[in-house]
C-alpha cells in the first residue's frame, strides 16, 4: 500500500553523523534523512516518515559499486565542496554545544586526504562454503561486504585481498570468521591475522611462505591471548620528522600519510619557537620527533611499548626526547609539573583529555595545542581551557577518513 504524502520538506544541512536534516516547522524535531544532501526535497507522510527523496543539485555520483552497503564510506554521494564545508561545520556544531564560537578567519580550510591513500585498515573475513568473503561490515549491521573494489585503500593493501582469501580458505572452516589488520609501513606491509588457532610448524611455514610471496615486512597471529610474530622479514618502520621508528604490533598510526603531515604541520606552526615542550598521549612520537628538531620534548603516554620504540628512535637520531610512562587519565601532569613548559601538545583517544585539561586550565603554560579525533570531546575539553583563561586562537580541520563522518583537528590555545 502506497503511503500518502502529507507535505514536502527541504534538506538544509548534514547532521553530526552525515544524515540529511530537514527542518519541520510543524513538529518539534526535524526529519533525519539517511542519504539526504542539502538541496534535496523529501516527501513525508503524516507520521513524519520519508516516503520519497527527490535529489537536489548538491549530489555526486558515488565512485564505488559498494556504496550504500559498505560501512567504510557513507558520504560518497555528497558533492566535494559541500563535504569539505561539512567537515568544518561538524567541528563548529560541537563547539556550539558548549557555547564556543570562532570567527571564520580563525578556521583553516579543511584538509581532506585523497582517494587510495589509507595505509591501515581492519577487515573481517568469513568462510562461506569454498569461498572466503573479505571486507568491511554493512553500514550499521554485522553482515559483510565482500570487497571487489575500494577507493580509499592504498592499492598496495587492496592487492593483498585476493591472496588473503586463498590463504584464509586453508585456515578457516565453513562459517568461521577471522580479522585481518593491515598497515602499510615505509618498509612494507605489516599483517596481523586474528581469530586463528595456532596449529604448529605447518601453519608457521604456510604463513612465512605467504609473507615471502607477497613481500610483507611482518606477519603475526593474534590468538586473543597475545600476538605471536610468525616472521619478521624486515623491521616495519615509520618515519616521523625524518626519524625512523619501529612499529610495534598493533600500535596506533594515523590513517593516511598526508593527513598525518597536515596534523604535524599545524602542530609545528602552533608550537612555534618554544624550546621546552610536553607531548602528552605521545604514542610513537608522531609529534614528539618532529618537535625535537628544535625543542626539548617530554613524551608521556600509558603505552609502554610504543614509548620504548620512540625512545630508541630518538636516541639513535640523537634527538632530545625524554619519555615518561604515565596514565594521563588517572594521573595527569599537574599544573605545577607543567610549569616548566613553554608549550604543551596533547593528542588523546576519542574519550578526550578531561582530567589533563583541568590541570592545563590551572597552569601557566603559554601555548596549548590540542589534537583530536572527536569534535565532541574536544569541545568539552576546550570549554575547560577557555574557562581557565585560555583563548582559542586557530583551528585546523583534517579529514583523513575520506567520505566518512569522521573528522580530526588541531587547535591552538594561548593564555588570554
User: In whole angstroms, what is the distance from residue 153 CA to residue 230 CA?
Assistant: 25
Active site includes 373? yes
- Give dist(CA 304, CA 309) in Å, integer: 9
Handedness of CA 357, 360, 362, 367 (dihedral sign): negative
| Assigned C-alpha cell, 143 | 553482515
Nearest to residue 40, comparing CAs of 1, 13, 4?
13
Helix/strand/coil (H/E/C) assignment for every residue in 253-313: CCCCHHHHHHHHHHHHHHHCCCCEEEEECCCCCCCHHHHCCCCEEEEEECCHHHHHHHHHH
Name the residue among 105, 136, 111 with its Cα closest to residue 122. Answer: 136
Cell 507522510 identifies what position? Answer: 45
Residues listed for the chain: 416
Task: Out of 70, 73, 150, 373, pick the active-site residue.
Answer: 373
Distance CA 137, CA 269 (A): 38
Integer CA distances (angstroms), 163 to 47, 168, 198, 232, in order: 50, 9, 20, 19
CB of 192 within 8 A of CB of 125?
no
99 close to 113: Cβ distance less than 8 angstroms: no
- End-to-end Cα spacing for the chain: 63
Cα angle at 288 between 280 and 334, to 5 degrees?
25
Asked if 268 and 297 count as a contact pair (C-beta separation under 8 A), the reply is no
Find cell 580458505 and name the residue.
Answer: 169
Q: How many CB atoms lie within 10 A of CB 215?
A: 11
Contact call for residues 395 and 107 (beta carbons, < 8 A): yes
H or E segment at 231? strand 227-232
Of 184, 193, 179, nearest in space to 157 by CA: 184
Catalytic positions: 373
Amino acid at each position: 500500500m502506497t503511503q500518502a504524502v502529507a507535505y514536502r520538506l527541504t534538506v538544509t544541512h548534514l547532521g553530526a553523523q552525515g544524515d540529511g536534516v530537514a527542518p519541520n516547522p510543524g513538529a518539534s524535531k526535524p526529519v533525519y534523512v539517511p542519504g539526504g544532501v542539502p538541496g534535496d526535497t523529501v516527501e513525508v507522510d503524516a507520521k513524519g516518515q520519508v516516503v520519497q527523496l527527490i535529489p537536489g543539485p548538491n549530489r555526486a555520483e558515488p565512485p564505488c559499486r559498494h556504496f550504500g552497503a559498505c560501512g567504510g564510506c557513507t558520504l560518497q554521494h555528497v558533492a566535494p565542496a559541500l563535504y569539505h564545508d561539512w567537515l568544518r561545520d561538524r567541528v563548529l556544531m560541537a563547539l556550539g554545544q558548549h557555547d564556543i564560537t570562532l570567527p571564520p578567519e580563525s578556521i583553516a580550510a579543511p584538509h581532506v586526504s585523497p582517494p587510495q591513500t589509507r595505509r591501515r585498515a581492519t577487515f573481517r573475513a568469513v568462510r562461506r562454503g569454498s569461498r572466503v568473503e573479505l571486507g568491511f561490515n554493512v553500514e550499521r549491521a554485522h553482515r559483510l561486504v565482500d570487497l571487489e573494489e575500494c577507493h580509499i585503500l592504498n592499492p598496495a593493501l587492496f592487492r593483498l585481498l585476493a591472496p588473503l582469501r586463498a590463504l584464509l580458505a586453508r585456515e578457516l572452516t565453513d562459517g568461521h570468521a577471522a580479522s585481518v589488520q593491515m598497515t602499510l609501513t615505509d618498509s612494507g606491509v605489516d599483517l596481523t591475522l586474528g581469530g586463528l588457532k595456532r596449529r604448529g610448524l605447518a601453519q608457521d611455514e604456510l604463513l612465512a611462505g605467504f609473507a615471502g610471496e607477497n613481500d610483507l615486512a611482518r606477519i603475526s597471529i593474534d590468538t586473543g591471548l597475545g600476538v605471536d610474530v610468525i616472521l619478521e622479514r624486515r623491521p616495519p618502520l615509520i618515519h616521523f620528522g625524518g626519524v625512523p621508528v619501529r612499529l610495534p604490533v598493533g600500535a596506533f598510526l594515523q590513517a593516511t600519510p598526508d593527513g598525518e603531515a597536515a596534523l604535524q604541520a599545524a602542530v609545528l606552526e602552533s608550537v612555534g619557537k618554544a624550546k621546552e615542550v610536553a607531548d602528552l598521549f605521545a604514542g610513537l612520537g608522531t609529534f614528539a620527533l618532529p618537535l625535537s628538531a628544535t625543542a626539548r620534548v617530554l613524551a608521556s603516554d600509558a603505552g609502554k611499548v610504543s614509548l620504548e620504540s620512540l625512545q630508541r628512535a630518538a636516541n639513535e637520531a640523537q634527538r632530545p626526547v625524554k619519555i615518561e610512562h604515565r596514565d594521563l587519565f588517572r594521573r595527569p601532569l599537574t599544573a605545577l609539573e607543567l610549569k616548566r613548559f613553554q608549550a604543551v601538545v596533547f593528542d588523546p583517544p576519542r574519550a578526550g583529555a578531561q582530567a589533563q585539561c583541568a590541570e592545563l586550565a590551572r597552569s601557566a603554560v603559554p601555548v596549548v595545542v590540542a589534537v583530536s579525533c572527536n569534535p565532541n570531546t574536544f569541545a568539552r575539553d576546550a570549554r575547560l581551557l577557555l574557562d581557565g583563561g585560555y583563548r582559542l586562537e586557530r583551528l585546523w580541520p583534517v579529514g583523513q577518513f575520506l567520505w566518512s563522518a569522521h573528522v580530526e583537528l588541531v587547535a591552538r590555545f594561548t593564555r588570554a
